[in-house]
Structure 1
Amino acid sequence: MSTERDLLGIELKAILKASKDNIVITDGKGTVLRASPNCKSVYGKDPSYLIGKNVNDLELESIFSPSITKMVLKERKEMQVLQQTQTDRYVMATGLPVFDDDGSILRVISFSYDLTEIQSLKEDYEELRAKMQRYQTEIQELREKDYELEDVVMKSKATQQIWQLVQRVAKSDATVVFLGESGVGKNVFARALHHGSERKEESFIEVNCGAIPESLFESEMFGYEAGSFTGANKKGKAGLIELADKGTLFLDEIGELPMAVQAKLLKVIQEKTITRVGGMKAKNIDFRLIASTNKDLKEMVKEGIFREDLYYRLNVIPITIPPLRERNEDILMLAHYFLQKLNKKYGTNKFFHASTIEELTSYSWPGNVRELQNMVERLVITAESRTIYPDTLPFFLQNDKPASENNWAIDRIEENHKTLQDALEEVEIRWLKRAYKQYKTTYEIAENLGLSQSTVVRKLKKYNINAKMN
C-alpha cells in the first residue's frame, strides 16, 4: 500500500512540475500542501515558502490577492477570480473543492492562468480608447469654435422659424428635445444650440443611445472606479456624462433607451450627480441636456415603453424639424451647399444640369438631408462629365419624362461636341435600352418601336445590348 502511495506522490510531483499553469493544493482548512515549481515566477515565492502556511496568512501578505481557496472554502463550490500578484502579474485563478463521503471539504485545488499579456493589451486598448475619446472631444470643440451659420442651411420658412427658436432658447439652460424623422438634421441644430449658448467653450458630448448595449450603458455613461470589475482599467475611467461637465450632453435617439436605463438616466437628470460603477462617492455634474428622437415619445408613454416622468423632464422645449419633403425650398440650397463642399473635398468642379435640379426637387427624399448629402457625394464621384445629368440619379428611371430628357440629352451632345449622326445614335441607343428593360422579347420591342424584329436584333447587337431574347 505504501508503494502505491509513493507512486501517486511521484505522479503528482511530475504533474505539478510539468504543468505550465500554476497549481496549489490545500487541505480542508486552507493550509498549503503542495505547490507547482512555477509559483516563484507568478507569486514571487518558492513552493517551500508556501507549503505549510494557511491561505488566510498568505492573503494578508498580499501573496494571494484575493485568495481563491478562501473563497471556495466559504462558498463550497467552484470559484474564479482575477488576481494581481506581488510580481505585478495578472492571473485568472480557478478553485475546485474536493469533498469526502461526509460532504466535508477534503482538498481545494486551484489553477492559475497567467493573463498578464492579455491584461496589458486590455489596458492599452482602454487607454487608447480614452485618448481617442479625448481627441474626438477636442476636435469637436475646435469644430464648434470654427462653426459658421452656413452649417444650418435655411431657405424655407419652416427652417427659419426653427433657427429663430433655437437662437432664443440657446442662452437658457432649459432642456430641449428635437423631434423628427431620421436624417432631418437634428444633430446639426443640437450643435447650433450648444454654439449659441454660454457653454460653447466647453465640451459638446454626443451620445447615440441606440448604439450602446444595455449591459455596457452604465459603465460607459457613468464611468467606473479602478478594479470595479474583471477587465476594468486599473486607473478607472470617466463616463460620458462626466466628460460633459460644464458643457452640453446631447442624447441622440433617446427613444431607443431600455426602461431599466431610463430610470438611471432620470436620476442623473433630477439630481445632477453621478456615482461611478464600483464607487461610493457621488459627484456633482453641471451640464445642459439636449435630446433627440425620431419616435413619438408620447405614444411610447401610452404603450408603457417610455417612462412618463422622464418624458416630462425632456419635454421642456420640444422642437419639431419637418422632413425634407415638406420644406422643398431647402432641397436646392442644400444640394448646392453639399456640391460646393464636395467639389472642394475631391478637387472637382462639377455642377447640376437644370433638369437634374428638377429631379432632385421633385423627389420625396425618405432619408431626408442625410440621403441628399450621400446622393450628392455619389454624383460628384461617379458622374463622367463636369455637368451632372439626370440619368446619373438612381431614382431617375422611376419617372417617365421624355420631353425633359430630350432637352438635357441635346445639351449633353453639344457639350461633348458630337455630330448629328452621333446624336441620332445616342437617341437610338436610349430608346433601345428603355425598350429592352420594359419588354420581354425582341418581337415586343419591334412592335412598340415600329421596327422589324430583324432590325431590332441587328441594332441590339450593334450597340452591344444583346441578351437572350427571342
Structure 2
Amino acid sequence: MQIERYIDSILDVLSDGIYISDQNGITLKVNRAYEQLSGLRREELLGKCVTDLQKEGAFDVVLNPDIVKTRRPQTSVQITRQGAKVVLHGYPVFNAAGDVVLVVTFVRDITALSNLEEQLTYQRDLITTYHSALARESGQPALIAKSRAMTKLLDTLYHVATTDATVLLLGETGVGKDSLARKIHETSSRSSQPFFKIDCSAIPENLMESELFGYEAGAFSGANTGGKPGYIEMAHKGTLFLNEVGELPLLMQTRLLRFLQDREFMRVGSTKVRKVDVRIIAATNRDLVRAVKDGQFRSDLYYRLCVAVVTVPPLRERSDDILPLANHFLGRFNAKYRKNLSFSPEAADALQAYEWPGNVRELENLVQSLVVTTRSKDRIEGTDLPPILSLRASGLARRSLHDAVAEFEHDIIRKAFEEYGSISEVARALQVDRVTIYRKLKRSVAGRQI
C-alpha cells in the first residue's frame, strides 16, 4: 500500500496526463493532470470500461482496444470537454508470457502549440496581403508567395529594398529573378527613378563596354555623332539590373569592379571622369563560387556583389506556389483572350505533381498555351495538358529533354490548328511568326500529322 501511494504521488507530479487501463479496458489509474485536462474526476472513471465511458460521452477517442489487438503503440488527437486539444500516445505493457496486461496512455496538451501554428499561418497570410497591397500601389502584379520558402524570401527582399545595398539574386533560369529585381526597385526609395535592365549574355563582347558605360562622339566607326550615354549613366538616381552577370567577359568584370568601388567611370573614347548614384542589382543562374575557382569570374568582383545575397528556390522546391501561380496566370490570360476557364481537379493535380524544370516561366507559358488552345468554354481538363505533364507526374517520363520539348511543341501546335485552322491564325494565337510554325511542322516526329 505504501508503494501504491508513492506511485500515485509520482503520477500526480507529472505535467502530462496519465490514463492506465487493463487488457479489458477497465480504468485502473488516472493522475491529477488528466483530471485537469479532461474535466473528469477519478471517481467517474476508476473501475469503468473505456468503451462504456466513450458511449457515455466522456471522451471520443479510445486507444485501448486497438493497442490490445495490434500489440503496438497508437497515437491520436482529440478535443476534451474543457476545450483543450490533446495528443494521445498509448503503449502496451506485457507480462512475462508476452501478453498485454496494461495500456498506459500519455495525454499532452497541445492547445498552445496549435494556437501558435494558427497565429503563424495568420501572420503569413497578413504578410502576403501586405505584399499584394504594396504591389497594387506600385501598379504591378503581386508576387505569388504561398510557400514558407517564398514568404521568407519576400520578407528578406522587402527588408533589403529599404537599403541601398548591392543585391545578388541567385537561382535557376525561370525562377523569377527579373520580377524580384523590379520588386526591389519598386519598394525602394528609388522607385520614382529609372530602372534599367541589361542582359549580359545577349550583348556581344565588343559592344558590352559601350552599352554599359556609353561612348563619346567618334569613339569608333558607326558611333553616334553626339555620343551616347550607357546604361549606368541613364540609371542615375535609379537602379541598374545586371541580368546573367556571370556571363560578363573578364575584361568587363574588371571595369565593373572599378565602377562598384567608387561609382565613377569614363565613357569609351573620353578622359572625363563621371560620377553617378546608382544601385546595382545583379542576377545569375551560374555557380559563381565554381566560376571563381575555375578562373572564369573575378573573386574581388564576386565579393563586391555579395553584399546582400538572395537565393531564389526552384518551383519544384516550393510546390505550395504552383497552383496559386497557375491560377494567377490563368486569370490574366482569361482576361487577355476573353475566356472564363478554370482547372479541373485532374489538371490541377497534374500541374501540382510536375517538376517544372523551366520553373515559373515554363508554368506561365504553359498556362497561356492552354488558354489559347483549349476548346472547352469553361474548364481545362487533364486531357488538355501536354503528355509530358502526365508522364512526369506519374513518374513514367524516360525521354530526353529534346524529345520531350518536341512532343510538347507538337501537341500545342496540333491543338492550335484544331482551334484556328490556318498557319497564320495559329502563329498569331501563339505569338510567333509563320516561319517558326513552318519550321516546327517540318521538325514534327515522322509519321505524325498536324
The answer, yes or no, to whether TM exceeds 0.5 is yes
Question: 2:361 corresponds to which letter in structure 1?
Answer: R
Report what 1:389 is aligned to.
Answer: 381
Q: Structure 1, residues 345-385: CA drift from partner, whole Å, max 9, x if none? A: 11111111111000000000000000000000000000010
**Aligned mate of 1:357, from 341, 348, 351:** 348
Report what 1:265 is aligned to.
Answer: 256
| Counterpart contact for 1:390–1:396, Cα < 8 Å | no
| Counterpart contact for 1:247–1:286, Cα < 8 Å | yes
Deviation beyond 2 Å, 4+ runs, structure 1: 144-151
Give the number of aligned pairs. Answer: 261
Q: CA deviation at 1:145?
A: 8.9
Query: In 1, Cα distance between the equivalents of 2:358 and 2:314?
Result: 9
Report what 1:398 is aligned to.
Answer: 391
Query: In 2, Cα distance between the equivalents of 1:301 and 1:324?
Result: 27
Q: CA deviation at 1:151?
A: 2.5
Query: In 1, Cα distance between the equivalents of 2:172 and 2:240?
Result: 21
TM-score normalised per structure 1: 0.54
Query: In 2, Cα distance between the equivalents of 1:207 and 1:258?
Result: 14
Report what 2:90 is aligned to.
Answer: none
| Counterpart contact for 1:182–1:368, Cα < 8 Å | yes
Query: In 2, Cα distance between the equivalents of 1:356 and 1:145?
Result: 30
Q: CA deviation at 1:185?
A: 0.5
Query: In 2, Cα distance between the equivalents of 1:145 and 1:397?
Result: 36
Q: CA deviation at 1:229?
A: 1.5
Query: In 2, Cα distance between the equivalents of 1:197 and 1:358?
Result: 38
Q: CA deviation at 1:180?
A: 0.6
Q: Does 1:277 align with 2:295?
A: no
Deviating more after overlay: 365-374 vs 271-280:
271-280
Report what 2:335 is aligned to.
Answer: 344
Query: In 1, Cα distance between the equivalents of 2:147 and 2:370?
Result: 25
Would the alpha carbon gap of residues 400 and 182 (structure 1) be closer, same or farther in structure 2, given more than 3 Å must change?
closer
Would the alpha carbon gap of residues 361 and 268 (structure 1) be closer, same or farther in structure 2, given more than 3 Å must change?
same
**Aligned mate of 1:180, from 167, 171, 176:** 171
| Counterpart contact for 1:151–1:188, Cα < 8 Å | no
Would the alpha carbon gap of residues 376 and 212 (structure 1) be closer, same or farther in structure 2, given more than 3 Å must change?
same
Query: In 1, Cα distance between the equivalents of 2:154 and 2:272?
Result: 41
Q: Does 1:222 align with 2:213?
A: yes
Q: CA deviation at 1:169?
A: 1.1
Where do 1:144-293 residues align within 5 Å? 147-148=138-139, 150-293=141-284
| Counterpart contact for 2:354–2:389, Cα < 8 Å | no
Would the alpha carbon gap of residues 238 and 149 (structure 1) be closer, same or farther in structure 2, given more than 3 Å must change?
closer
Q: CA deviation at 1:193?
A: 0.7
Report what 1:457 is aligned to.
Answer: none
Report what 1:125 is aligned to.
Answer: none
Where do 1:287-436 residues align within 5 Å? 287-386=278-377, 387-394=379-386, 395-398=388-391
| Counterpart contact for 1:145–1:201, Cα < 8 Å | no
Q: CA deviation at 1:311?
A: 0.3
Query: In 2, Cα distance between the equivalents of 1:397 and 1:384?
Result: 19
Q: CA deviation at 1:400?
A: 8.7
TM-score normalised per structure 2: 0.56
Question: 1:316 corresponds to which letter in structure 2?
Answer: V
| Counterpart contact for 2:136–2:142, Cα < 8 Å | no
Question: 2:197 corresponds to which letter in structure 1?
Answer: E
Would the alpha carbon gap of residues 228 and 152 (structure 1) be closer, same or farther in structure 2, given more than 3 Å must change?
same
Q: Structure 1, residues 400-446: CA drift from partner, whole Å, max 9, x if none? A: 97xxxxxxxxxxxxxxxxxxxxxxxxxxxxxxxxxxxxxxxxxxxxx
Secondary structure of the residue that 1:151 maps to in structure 2?
A: coil
What is the root-mean-square deviation in Å for CA atoms of aligned residues? 2.0
Query: In 2, Cα distance between the equivalents of 1:146 and 1:250?
Result: 22
Question: 2:350 corresponds to which letter in structure 1?
Answer: E
Secondary structure of the residue that 1:380 maps to in structure 2?
A: helix
Query: In 1, Cα distance between the equivalents of 2:137 and 2:258?
Result: 35
Query: In 1, Cα distance between the equivalents of 2:137 and 2:174?
Result: 23
Q: CA deviation at 1:269?
A: 1.0
Larger radius of gyration: 1
Identity %: 48
Query: In 2, Cα distance between the equivalents of 1:147 and 1:358?
Result: 34
Query: In 2, Cα distance between the equivalents of 1:293 and 1:165?
Result: 19
